Amino acid sequence: MDKIYDYLVVGSGAAGLYFSILASRSGKVLLLTKNTLKESNTYYAQGGIASVEKHTDSFQQHIKDTIKAGDELCNEKAVEMVVSEGPGIINELISIGVKFTRDRSKGYYSLHKEGGHSKSRVFHFKDITGRELIRALTKMVRENSNITIIENMAAVDLLTEHQKEDSSLFNPRNITCYGIYAHDPKTKKIHKILSRSTILATGGSGQVYLHTSNPGVATGDGLAMAFRAGATVSNLEFYQFHPTTLYTEKEKENSFLISEAVRGFGGNLKTKDGKSFMHKYHRLKSLAPRDIVARAIDSEMKKRGDEFVYLDIRNFPANKIISTFPNIYKKCLDEGIDITKEMIPVVPAAHYQCGGIETDLHGKTDIKGLYAIGEVAQNGMHGANRLASNSLLDALVFAKISALSVEKYISRNVINFSDIKEWEYYHTERPIEKVVVSYLRNTIRRLVSEFIGIVRSDERLKMAEKMIDLLAWQARDYYMQTELSRETVELRNIADVAYLLVRFAGFRKESRGLHYNIDHPEKDNINWKKNTRLRSSGRRSKSVIIR
């Protein structure tokens, strides 16, 4: 009999690590991650974690700011829950050794103010908050004997009734998850991993765009796996672009982020000829919410035919710049830009997936035994647009809440693991040709960037849908016709995410939050003040149900 875990956690960002630590108190955890433990979106987070500080701020104010950014699509209960858990989470992090920068003059933590926040409330560690969080959490995970860690192994598909010997038992309205199939690139073997509960904490899908702040691991695997298995996914038309990533001439896997905090610090956006332009778009100028800033930059670049705009912080003292943003200073210097003397060339890049696998307020999906937390999930916190630094808070709070919920689920349910098939080796032994994979991957990414980017139109979306259908078909076919590899697993997932993005962007016939369509430029509360949702039939077919 195969070993059966209590908790199978897929992904080692803030959500997966924190969940594993909490769940290990009540059972055996298997933590699986496709790269090293540290490689994740979390590791690269700079700005910090938004949370109310009781003397200068209030829950009501943080809730109000979040809901305003979400453009009337947040689930207010989710927002209230996440915001009110904030101070507790910060205290717990401090108690397990996470460091936050202090403001010596005030005798308290230094709190940054970021775009869309009415108060300074972002706890941070210098400009490397994510790195610090990962340092402390991975240390705890590695020292915990109830957590088994497997690195460099990727989840490929979820195990459901569909993988049982008698798949006539499969009922798309009543699916249970029994674990996953995972691919080990060293042995080229597929492992069947069984668990009483499966927690997807696989993060975002920025790699579906050509320019992204997300590292190479962010290929939307969890989203694609859950959709293929029959989970409802929602609100994927809302993709946040970070307005300011460092522009370089060389093509890179991901773009280096120039944190929101640089605009909060007083950074001023300028066109290539040195003229400020944000006053034309918003009363908060360069500190306007991200979507407005990203659209403004996109519009200025398109109008002028420029590849970038500038962010200027030269009028601040050099020592203050270097001590506040040591990481950004160093990184830019490595690229030949001294930010104390020169303006920083910046472009918008895909940054945060606001939609995802639909969950309730406990991280529960509509597949039994399957939970989703962190960026892969759509739990109502962010609505049509995420407020800066609310995502790490969301990931940590949902990890905490769902750990309690999953514990109850596994203690109350007896799960029948019999008859689950080994991986079917329907793939051929034919090795992949890297040129095919990289051509398909880059073509899909370019198409998604140019047709489903910051500004959309009906015509471009219609064209993109047809082209993506063809490319996705080719990607899936190539995945089936060659030996299983990390490259083709990711290619299939990127293709499935592109398929979802174009459908979701096409559904919504209005402009709201991060979704802007020039053919429907107004917000339409009568018809569209609702989430968009999609569910596959659970088979490997294209049929979808829109509810």
Ligand X SMILES: Cc1cc2nc3c(=O)[nH]c(=O)nc-3n(C[C@H](O)[C@H](O)[C@H](O)COP(=O)(O)OP(=O)(O)OC[C@H]3O[C@@H](n4cnc5c(N)ncnc54)[C@H](O)[C@@H]3O)c2cc1C
Residues lying near ligand X in the complex (CB under 6 A) are found at 10-16, 32-35, 39-42, 44-49, 129-130, 154-155, 201-204, 213-214, 217-218, 221, 257, 352, 374-375, 389-392, 395
Closer to ligand X by Cβ: residue 348 or 374: 374
Q: Nearest 5 degrees, angle CA 144-CA 146-CA 152? A: 80
> CA 310 from chain center: how many Å?
26
Residues in the chain: 547
User: Judged by CB, which is closer to ligand X: 197, or 214?
Assistant: 214
d(CA 200, CA 358): 12
Query: Phi/psi at 142 (nearest 5 deg)?
Result: -65, -30
Measured from the CB atom, the residue of 47 and 538 that comes closer to ligand X is 47
Residue nearer to ligand X on the CB measure, 148 or 299: 148
249 three-state secondary structure? coil
Letter string b/e over residues 132-145, b meaning 16 or more CB atoms within 10 A of that residue's CB: bbbbbbbebbeebe
Tell me whether residue 535 is one of the annotated catalytic residues: no
How far, in Å, CA of 219 to CA of 154, rounded?
Answer: 11
For the bound state, the minimum distance from the C-beta of residue 390 to ligand X, rounded and expressed in Å, comes to: 6
CA R_g for the chain: 22
Q: Give min distance, CB of 445 to ligand X, in A.
A: 16
Nearer to ligand X, 122 or 175 (CB): 122
Task: For 333-368, give the DSSP string.
Answer: HHTT--TTTSPEEEEEEEEEE--EEE--TTSB-SSB
Contact between residue 179 and residue 199 where contact means Cβ atoms under 8 Å apart: no
Output the CA torsion sign for 17, 19, 20, 25.
positive
What values do phi and psi take at 528, rounded to 5?
-125, 15
**Shortest Cβ 274–ligand X spacing (Å):** 27
H or E element, residue 117: none
Q: Are strands 4-10 and 189-200 parallel, antiparallel or unpaired?
A: parallel
CB atoms within 10 A of CB 399: 28
Q: Is 267 in a helix, a strand, or coil?
A: coil
C-alpha 472/C-alpha 477 separation (Å) is: 8
CA-wise closest residue to 489 among 427, 424, 422, 420: 427
CB contact at 8 A, 185 and 169: no
Give whichever of 257 and 309 is closer to ligand X, judged by the CB atom.
257
> Which token pair is 243?
């307005």
By beta-carbon proximity to ligand X, the closer residue of 218 and 440 is 218
**Angle, helices 221-229/486-507, rounded to nearest 10 degrees:** 70
Closest distance of CB 451 from ligand X, Å: 23
Nearest distance, CB of residue 217 and ligand X, angstroms:
4
477 burial (CB, 10 Å; 0-12 / 13-18 / 19+) is exposed
Indicate the residue among 350 and 461 with the shorter CB distance to ligand X: 350
Q: How far is the CB of 114 from ligand X (least distance, A)?
A: 8
Nearer of residues 175 and 257 to ligand X, judged by Cβ: 257
Supply the minimum distance, in Å, between the C-beta of residue 307 and ligand X: 21
**Tokens standing for 139?**
């240390």
DSSP state of 105: T
Instruction: In angstroms, give the least distance from the CB of 45 to ligand X.
Output: 3
Catalytic residue among 121, 263, 290, 503: 290
Closest C-alpha among 302, 411, 320, 402 to residue 361: 402
Q: How far is the CB of 207 from ligand X (least distance, A)?
A: 10
Nearer to ligand X, 285 or 331 (CB): 331
What is the β-pairing status of strands 4-10 and 233-234? unpaired
Query: Smallest gap, in angstroms, from Cβ of residue 133 to ligand X?
Result: 8
Partnered with residue 370 across adjacent β-strands are 198
Pairing of strands 377-378, 356-358: parallel
The residues assigned a catalytic role are 290
